[in-house]
Amino acid sequence: MNFLFVLAVGLVAGTISGIVGTGSSIMLMPVLVYQYGPKQAVPIMAIAAVMANLSRILAWWREVDWRACAAYSATGIPAAALGASATAAAVRATPTAPVFGVFTGSSVPRCPGACAELYGSDVAQWVGISPSASKQSAVS
């Protein structure tokens, strides 16, 4: 039953994203986190994003300016990797982790302990979310 729910939301999100051009991740990510938890939702969403972008490339293959794509990718890919690793290191090393923990915890209605999973139990305790309480709420 859970799979059918995710499938239905994915179909709706994909249809709306196909019409509007964006927005499927905003609709699908909360459902994936609700069903599978944040650690599984992120890679699932990454695979879905890659598949969606590949379908757009296949649909618009003849319209793509490949020289511009190569020029953008030559600098964009290394810069994205560097920025992601620098951001991850900065979040772990600074007091901004509680802000991300609060945001994550408040964004996931069923999983109040999501910030405990993502950012550690110290951050979860700092923002007032007990990892043991989230396990109890998941059981009930």
In a domain, 86, yes or no: no
In a domain, 89, yes or no: no
pTM as predicted: 0.48
Distances 40 to 13, 18, 31, 80 between C-alpha atoms, Å: 19, 25, 12, 22
In a domain, 88, yes or no: no
Query: What pLDDT is stored for residue 105 in this prediction?
Result: 63
Query: What pLDDT is stored for residue 67 in this prediction?
Result: 92
In a domain, 85, yes or no: no
Average pLDDT, the chain: 74
Query: What pLDDT is stored for residue 104 in this prediction?
Result: 64
pLDDT digits (tens, 9 = 90+) for 60-86: 888 888 899 899 989 988 998 888 888
Closest to 109 measured CA to CA, from 134, 128, 87, 92:
134
The percentage of the chain sitting over the pLDDT mark of 70, rounded to a whole number, equals: 63
Is residue 51 domain-shared with residue 103, that is, in the same domain? no
* CA atoms of 121 and 129, how far apart (whole Å): 9
Confidence of residue 139 (pLDDT cuts 50, 70, 90): very low
Confidence check: pLDDT of 95 > 50: yes
For 124, the token pair is 């979860």
Q: Which domain holds residue 36?
A: 1-64
* Beta carbons within 8 Å of 33's beta carbon, 6+ residues apart: 41, 108, 110, 111, 114
- 130/9: higher pLDDT: 9
